[in-house]
């Protein structure tokens, strides 16, 4: 994935769909291999749609080898980050053959020169157990490098790029995001990607797929495949010779297709009971936040025993919900399931439930944590519903993927929607 090269590996494969969502199995955001200097015309065009569509951009100065500080690059990186876009540095590893001392020096230089959010490691092998000339295995080589990034101050996202699928999930323990597909043509992506079951045991925002050399008329088909294959990050372009030298001709349409998703960038947190200045107890709250398109009604299904076979598990949701947050027409409520699995039977729970608009596209649902019956961890799934003008019932239009929340963990977490500028 260097500026001057491209790779594509073909294999036979099959497709596994894991969610019975109504119109979508997950969310996608755009991760951009923006291999032109920050501040250039191309960089500005890539960043133009903003954080509603663009989640990650890569700064790649001479394949990561240019250690010089450039004020114009600094300004452009800061401008992109101020939009809410992550900017990560680039370095290549030669499939484990590049001296790690050199790789560390390149990482140190980009962190020293610019305010970045992490590092993209290119040229990563698929076999983590293979031998390595510097450390005994490839796994140990890349573990040491990703740990070097995590020792830095500030954000420390890491991406590993094998460029194709792997039968093992070994890389998932040491990287935030795995680029497990990078190839030319929708046909290759459709026919030759192997959708291993282990991929679906992780959230989609852990995987990144790139398809280049494809037409605008194939855009929706590629996005649908990415969702089915659990890829939360995508980049699609018609370019072939150097697919990363300029934005796609259909960049506006690609960004719009992401912006139209009902749920993007979900984030949840919980905090415990506390005491105010007069000694009165303040109830701890759980907050679930997301951005995206509008809906007439919102439902958040809360699986407090993390068992998809208990609680409510009808209507195509992928969790077994013991509780449900619901908001419609300015009213918000928390419900406890009172049925037998698939019937729609709920009892309202007093929880001071609320839905707030943090800005025109960001919503925050919150409620008293104690109302969940003392659970310490849960899975949740967000559903958007339409107005159903000709029916007495709303119709589900979009289901998020399943997310997890540790209710009892009071430690600070890194918030993808509010990182330091």
Which pLDDT score, from 0 to 100, does residue 168 have? 94
The domain 265-406 having CATH identifier 2.60.120: the answer here is no
Given its phi and psi angles, is residue 360 left (phi above 0), alpha (psi -120 to 50 degrees) or beta? Answer: alpha
List the Cα angle 239/258/47 in 5-degree steps: 60
C-beta neighbour count of 280 within 10 angstroms:
8
- With cut-offs at 50, 70 and 90, classify the pLDDT of residue 13: very low
Query: How far is it, in rounded angstroms, from Cα 392 to Cα 385?
Result: 13
Residues 242 and 3: beta-carbon distance below 8 Å: yes
Given its phi and psi angles, is residue 138 left (phi above 0), alpha (psi -120 to 50 degrees) or beta? Answer: alpha
What is the value of pTM for the model shown? 0.78
pLDDT digits (tens, 9 = 90+) for 38-85: 999 999 999 999 988 999 999 999 999 999 999 999 999 999 999 989
The SS3 of residue 141 is helix
Please name the residue that has the structure tokens 């699986």: 303
Please name the residue that has the structure tokens 């980009």: 110
pLDDT digits (tens, 9 = 90+) for 96-144: 999 999 999 999 999 999 999 999 999 999 999 999 999 999 999 999 9
Which pLDDT score, from 0 to 100, does residue 420 have? 40
- Residue 219 phi/psi, 5-degree rounding, is -60, -50
Which residues face 403 on adjacent strands? 380
Q: Among candidates 258, 165, 200, which has minimal Cα distance to 17?
A: 200
Identical fold for domains 29-260 and 265-406, yes or no, is no
For the record, the structure tokens of 22 come out as 């109504």
Radius of gyration of the chain (CA): 22
Residues 298 and 365: beta-carbon distance below 8 Å: yes
pLDDT digits (tens, 9 = 90+) for 224-283: 899 889 899 999 999 998 999 999 999 999 999 888 888 887 888 898 888 888 888 889
pLDDT digits (tens, 9 = 90+) for 399-410: 888 888 888 765
For the record, the structure tokens of 119 come out as 């590092």
Provide the residue ranges of all domains of the chain, joining segments of one domain with +: 29-260, 265-406
- Estimate the share of the chain in helix, then strand, then coil, as percent rounded to the nearest 5: 20, 30, 50
Mean pLDDT over each residue of the chain, to the nearest integer:
88
For the record, the structure tokens of 20 come out as 């019975």
Third-level CATH fold of 29-260: TIM Barrel (3.20.20)
Which pLDDT score, from 0 to 100, does residue 410 have? 52
Average pLDDT over residues 355-383: 93
DSSP string, 328-379: ETTEEEEEEE-SSSSS--EEEE----EEEEEETTEEEEEEEGGGG-S-SEEE
Which pLDDT score, from 0 to 100, does residue 148 have? 97
């Amino acid at each position: 994935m260097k500026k001057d090269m491209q790779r594509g590996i073909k294999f036979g494969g099959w497709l596994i769909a894991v969610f019975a969502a109504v119109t979508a199995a997950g969310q996608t955001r755009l991760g951009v291999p923006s291999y032109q200097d920050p501040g250039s015309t191309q960089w500005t065009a890539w960043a133009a749609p903003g954080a509603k569509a663009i989640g990650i951009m890569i700064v790649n100065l001479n394949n990561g080898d240019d250690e010089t500080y450039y004020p114009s690059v600094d300004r452009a990186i800061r401008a992109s980050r101020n939009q809410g876009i992550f900017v990560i540095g680039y370095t290549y590893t030669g499939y484990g053959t590049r001296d790690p001392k050199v790789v560390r020096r390149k990482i140190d230089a980009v962190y020293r020169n610019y305010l970045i959010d992490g590092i993209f490691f290119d040229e990563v092998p698929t076999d983590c157990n293979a031998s390595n000339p510097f450390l005994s295995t490839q796994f140990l080589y890349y573990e040491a490098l990703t740990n070097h990034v995590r020792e830095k101050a500030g954000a420390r996202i890491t991406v590993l790029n094998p460029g194709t699928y792997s039968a093992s999930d070994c890389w998932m323990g040491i990287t935030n995001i795995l680029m497990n597909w990078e190839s030319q043509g929708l046909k290759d992506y459709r026919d030759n990607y192997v959708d291993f079951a282990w991929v679906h045991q992780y959230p989609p925002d852990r995987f990144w797929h790139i398809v280049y050399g494809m037409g605008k008329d194939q855009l929706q088909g590629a996005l649908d495949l990415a969702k089915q294959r659990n890829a939360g990050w995508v980049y699609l372009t018609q370019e072939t010779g150097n697919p990363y030298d300029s934005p796609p001709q259909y960049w506006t349409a690609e960004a719009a297709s992401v912006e139209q998703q009902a749920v993007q960038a979900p984030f949840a947190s919980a905090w415990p009971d506390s005491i105010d200045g007069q000694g009165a107890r303040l109830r701890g709250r759980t907050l679930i936040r997301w951005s995206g398109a509008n809906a007439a009604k919102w439902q958040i299904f809360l699986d407090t025993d993390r068992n998809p076979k208990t609680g409510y598990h009808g209507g195509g949701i992928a969790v077994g919900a013991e509780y449900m947050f619901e908001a419609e027409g300015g009213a918000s409520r928390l419900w406890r399931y009172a049925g037998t699995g698939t019937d729609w039977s709920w009892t309202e729970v007093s929880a001071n439930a609320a839905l707030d608009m943090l800005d025109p596209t960001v919503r925050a649902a919150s409620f008293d944590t104690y109302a969940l019956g003392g659970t310490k961890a849960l899975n949740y799934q967000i559903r958007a519903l339409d107005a159903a003008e000709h029916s007495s019932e709303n119709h589900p239009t979009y289901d998020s993927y399943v997310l997890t929340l540790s209710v009892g963990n009071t430690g600070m977490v890194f918030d993808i929607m509010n990182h330091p500028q």
